[in-house]
């Protein structure tokens, strides 16, 4: 899983849990608030109930209040605060002015005498209300008793409006809190995952070839992962080196055996078996060339564009030329070099030597007496041109040159692999090789390679 996916995961989990926790907290707080203010209202109603009982004169008929209830809301029609006295047998007998002309209807069964119940009612205005209902047995002055149902009620709308306003404020506050907490958790995830991002950058750099291992200090939780990655890289490096070394050993072993065989053909020549000897020599040369080609391919590393080289062309040409000029073919020719010392190319210097070696050796093998090497630079490309005055190549065969194993002249030495390696090195380095007819009369090899920055 990539660090980004991990981050999204952590963020999603924390966002969901923060939201859930805040919803639960919001519901809890809102319910606590509602219950708290309901209790407050109930307590107010309780006081009103006590006041009603205290002011009630049961000796009159109908019963009356010795003085009006003090709260002005009782006096205003539909004022929001109500009292009502019911005769259990006949129904409402007295009520506050606020009840106006629609006495309250009780939907709950009346409690036993003396007990108080809290209940929800529909008030005279038709709105929901909180009510207290109490059945009381009064003793009158004449010694008789009278049972009355007393009701006080308060419209819920103010209460509900207060609860709604509180919930709205609470929601805003919790939303802000949720945003702050999610932002904090994003920060936490980012800071927490920072070492993983560093690992990701490191791995990208390894892939790009700019570093070989994951270096730097990492938190203790990440160190085992870093160590694992580094061990994996070491193992890979060791395996590649081991494979290259085995390939080189194999090549060396095969070449030694081929050399033994090749030096023994001399005896065949001396005994007059020239045909057998030559056939063995041909097979030998072709096997050796195949080994060289495969070994050269094994040596070529996959080129990463992030590694920039700056290989000076002229010194490499001079070194390779001095080697080729030591050979009998090379020694015979006049070599002309026209390369500006400032031309550098973006190519591994070892690959440049390999490439020039193959091209110059080919020129030395075919030239009649002159080989010319030049290089020019445009903005991004360096073109190295090698001309010889040899027999050249027919126009229709120019395109097949550089293809592996193509030998245009079977009588000449070589295996056709030298120019194939040239094409492969050029291709691996975003370059190309083109074969043309030379103005010296022979072959012109144009190598186009990226210029060094």
Partner 1 sequence: MRVLLLEDDPRIGANIAGALELAGFVVDCERDGEIGWYRGDTEAYDAIILDLGLPTLDGLTLLKRWRKAGIFTPVLILTARGNWDERVEGIDAGADDYLAKPFRLEELTARLRALIRRSVGHASALISVADLTLDTRQMRLSVGGMPVSLTPQEYRLVAYLMHHQGRVVAQTELVEHLYHQDFDRESNSIEVLVGRVRKKLGSDVIQTRRGYGYIIGGEAA
181: tokens are 């907490």
Integer angstrom CA distances of residue 315 from 288, 307, 377, 432:
29, 21, 16, 21
The only residue of 116, 225, 261, 408 in contact with partner 1, by rule CB under 8 A: 261
Q: Which residues of 80-119 are buried (b: 16+ CB within 10 A; e: fewer)?
A: bbbbbbbeeeeebbbbbebbeeebbebeeeeeeeeeeeee
Burial class of residue 48 in the structure, from the number of CB atoms within 10 Å of its CB (0-12 exposed, 13-18 middle, 19+ buried): buried
Question: Least separation, in Å, of the C-beta of 266 and partner 1?
Answer: 4
Q: How far apart are CA 201 and CA 195, in angstroms?
A: 10
Q: Which of 277, 97, 80 is nearest to 159 (CA)?
A: 80
Question: Least separation, in Å, of the C-beta of 291 and partner 1?
Answer: 7
The only residue of 42, 102, 128, 262 in contact with partner 1, by rule CB under 8 A: 262
| Nearer to partner 1 (CB atom), residue 9 or residue 274 | 274
| 305 sits near partner 1 (criterion: CB under 8 A) | no
| Nearer to partner 1 (CB atom), residue 267 or residue 427 | 267
| 243 sits near partner 1 (criterion: CB under 8 A) | no
| Nearer to partner 1 (CB atom), residue 320 or residue 373 | 320
| 449 sits near partner 1 (criterion: CB under 8 A) | no
Q: How far apart are CA 123 and CA 151, in angstroms?
A: 11
Name, in order, each residue with C-beta under 8 angstroms of 218's C-beta and a sequence gap of 6 or more.
195, 198, 199, 226
Q: Before 68, cis peptide (omega within 30)? A: no
Question: Least separation, in Å, of the C-beta of 211 and partner 1?
Answer: 25
Phi first, then psi, for residue 402 (nearest 5°) are 85, -5
| Nearer to partner 1 (CB atom), residue 284 or residue 368 | 284
Question: Least separation, in Å, of the C-beta of 344 and partner 1?
Answer: 18
Site for partner 1 in 316-355 (CB under 8 A): 319-320, 322-323, 326-328, 331, 350, 353-354
Give all strands (DSSP E) within 140-201, no chain letters.
Answer: 145-155
**What mask of x and - would describe binding to partner 1 in positions 364 to 403, judged by CB under 8 A?**
----------------------------------------
Residues in binding contact with partner 1, number by CB under 8 A: 41
Question: Least separation, in Å, of the C-beta of 367 and partner 1?
Answer: 18
Burial class of residue 438 in the structure, from the number of CB atoms within 10 Å of its CB (0-12 exposed, 13-18 middle, 19+ buried): buried
The only residue of 9, 207, 212, 252 in contact with partner 1, by rule CB under 8 A: 252
**What mask of x and - would describe binding to partner 1 in positions 263 to 302, judged by CB under 8 A?**
xxxxx-xx----------x--xx--xx-xx--xx--x---
Q: Which of 232, 237, 284 is nearest to 257 (CA)?
A: 284
- Residues in contact with partner 1 by the rule CB under 8 A: 248, 251-252, 255-256, 258-267, 269-270, 281, 284-285, 288-289, 291-292, 295-296, 299, 319-320, 322-323, 326-328, 331, 350, 353-354, 356-358
């Amino acid at each position: 899983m990539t660090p980004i996916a991990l981050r999204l995961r952590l963020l999603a989990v924390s966002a969901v849990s923060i939201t859930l926790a805040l919803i639960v907290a919001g519901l809890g707080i809102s319910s606590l608030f509602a219950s708290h203010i309901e209790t407050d209202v109930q307590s107010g109603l309780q006081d009103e109930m006590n006041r009603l009982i205290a002011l009630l004169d049961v000796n009159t008929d109908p019963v009356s209040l010795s003085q009006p209830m003090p709260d002005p809301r009782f006096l205003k029609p539909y004022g929001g605060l109500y009292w009502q006295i019911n005769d259990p047998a006949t129904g409402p007998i007295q009520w506050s002015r606020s009840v106006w002309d629609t006495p309250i209807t009780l939907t709950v069964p009346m409690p036993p005498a003396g007990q108080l119940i809290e209940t929800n009612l529909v008030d005279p205005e038709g709105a929901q209300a909180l009510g207290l209902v109490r059945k009381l047995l009064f003793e009158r002055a004449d010694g008789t008793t009278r049972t009355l149902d007393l009701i006080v009620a308060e419209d819920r709308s103010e209460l509900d409006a207060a609860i709604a306003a509180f919930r709205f404020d609470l929601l805003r506050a919790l939303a802000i809190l949720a945003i702050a907490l999610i932002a904090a958790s994003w920060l936490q995830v980012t800071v927490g995952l920072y070492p993983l991002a560093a690992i990701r950058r490191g791995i990208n750099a390894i892939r790009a070839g700019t570093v070989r291992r994951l270096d730097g200090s990492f938190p203790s939780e990440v160190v085992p992962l870093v160590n694992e990655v580094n061990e994996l890289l070491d193992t890979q490096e060791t395996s590649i080196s081991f494979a290259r070394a085995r390939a080189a050993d194999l090549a060396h072993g095969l070449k030694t055996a081929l050399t033994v065989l090749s030096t023994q053909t001399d005896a065949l020549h001396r005994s007059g078996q020239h045909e057998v000897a030559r056939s063995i020599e041909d097979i030998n040369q072709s096997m050796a060339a195949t080994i060289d080609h495969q070994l050269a391919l094994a040596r070529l590393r996959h080129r990463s564009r992030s590694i920039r080289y700056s290989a000076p062309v002229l010194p490499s040409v001079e070194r390779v030329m001095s080697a080729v000029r030591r050979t009998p073919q090379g020694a015979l020719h006049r070599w002309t070099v026209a390369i500006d010392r400032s031309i550098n190319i973006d190519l591994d210097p070892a690959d440049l030597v390999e490439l020039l070696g193959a091209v110059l050796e080919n020129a030395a093998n075919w030239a009649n007496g002159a080989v010319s090497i030049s290089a020019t630079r445009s903005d991004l490309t360096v073109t190295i041109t090698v001309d010889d005055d040899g027999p050249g190549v027919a126009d229709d065969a120019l395109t097949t040159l550089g293809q592996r194993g193509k030998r245009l002249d079977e009588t000449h030495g070589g295996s056709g692999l030298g120019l194939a390696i040239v094409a492969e090195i050029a291709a691996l380095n975003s370059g190309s090789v083109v074969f043309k007819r030379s103005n010296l009369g022979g072959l012109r090899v144009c190598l186009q390679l990226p210029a060094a920055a």
